[in-house]
Structure 1
């Protein structure tokens, strides 16, 4: 795997990571809960670590070759997005002026891991995008090692982007409850809409 391939994957991966979705919505909400940003980002990255491990073990190829299994995983992720989006709409994570709302770090971490682990965008990346950058002929590295390297690159991109988003959300929206409420509700509506769209798509 040469440098050009890594740079090409990095460019595509950054575009995908920078598109707002469930991960963004969660880390923005976490940014409004004080010090939970690090735990939220660590959880999100750990979910992609699981994706990377499974892909390197060859399970991504198995899932991609099994339409029924892929449909079930996508539906599960979509249903979780709907549940999470509805929860954000009902109870937006907005601290009152001068108050910081905190959750247990373990709970924040586990929720982040679940979100990224079931994120349909993550499934798309590992099942459709990442395999296009693997070198199968005359490769210096075996395919599992290449998969692990690209997965680690994706995790690094997620960590950098999501930390920036969470910190900016905390600094820019923490003292503006009305703006924070609007942003979190928009994020919740986006998750709800994406999840509902994917569920309808899987039904047909």
Structure 2
């Protein structure tokens, strides 16, 4: 693949990943709850690994072309975000509280579910990634190019989310009131994004 094309994709992808959303909200809530951020981030990245596999195998196009399947995916993902966000609003994390510090597997599964069921992530692979594929003049098959760009996206997610979690914990660990406010904001973001996805998709039926 052309190195210039790779750098262009990296720049666009970093810009998109740096836009706060459900992933950011989950990482911040995890960090302020005193839970292991790397495990939560690993779960989020694993969810995008699923999208990468789907896109590489060409299944993403089939999902996007099936309104019923895409609607079902959206409803499940939005419902999960609503449930998770409501839980964060009810019990905002306080630094040093030590809630569920050892719930590593649950953190991983929650992260994988949030990113894996996010239809916006699937559409990202369908609308943005294909623009950086080289169909002619290269020996690399399209699936290999797709997998390469997908791995770059996963690396960007890991770097940005680990940074977000580390900064959230470092800057707010000694400020319980601010940490509680940020956590509530994160929970509200999850609820808002979940509700938006649900309304947006159901409106198209």
**Would you say the 8 A contact 1:33–1:103 is kept in 2?**
no
- Name structure 1 gaps, 5 residues minimum: none
Report the counterpart of residue 132 of structure 1 in structure 2: 131
Alpha-carbon distance between aligned partners in 2 of 1:133 and 1:70, rounded to the nearest angstrom = 24
| Structure 1 equivalent of residue 59 of structure 2 | 59
Q: Is the 8 A contact 1:84 1:188 kept in 2?
A: yes
**1:18-167 equivalences in 2 (<5 Å):** 18-34=18-34, 36-95=36-95, 98-101=96-99, 102-167=101-166
Q: CA RMSD in A?
A: 1.5
Count of residues paired in the alignment? 202
Aligned equivalents of 2:177, 2:149: Cα separation in 1: 40
Measure the CA separation in 2 of the matches of 1:93 and 1:77.
23
**Contact conserved, 1:78 with 1:120, CA < 8 A, in 2?**
no
Tell me the TM-score normalized by structure 1: 0.92
Work out whether residues 32 and 183 of structure 2, in 8 Å CA contact, stay in contact via their aligned partners in 1. Answer: no
State the SS of the aligned residue for 1:136.
coil
Partners of 1:53 and 1:170 lie apart in 2 by: 32
Q: Confirm or deny: 8 A CA contact 2:48 2:154 kept in the other structure.
A: yes
- Larger mean CA deviation between 54-63 and 32-41 belongs to 32-41
**Inter-partner Cα distance in structure 1 for 2:123 and 2:5:** 19
Which of structure 1's runs of 4+ aligned residues deviate more than 3 A?
98-101
**Could you tell me which residue of structure 1 aligns to residue 2 of structure 2?**
2
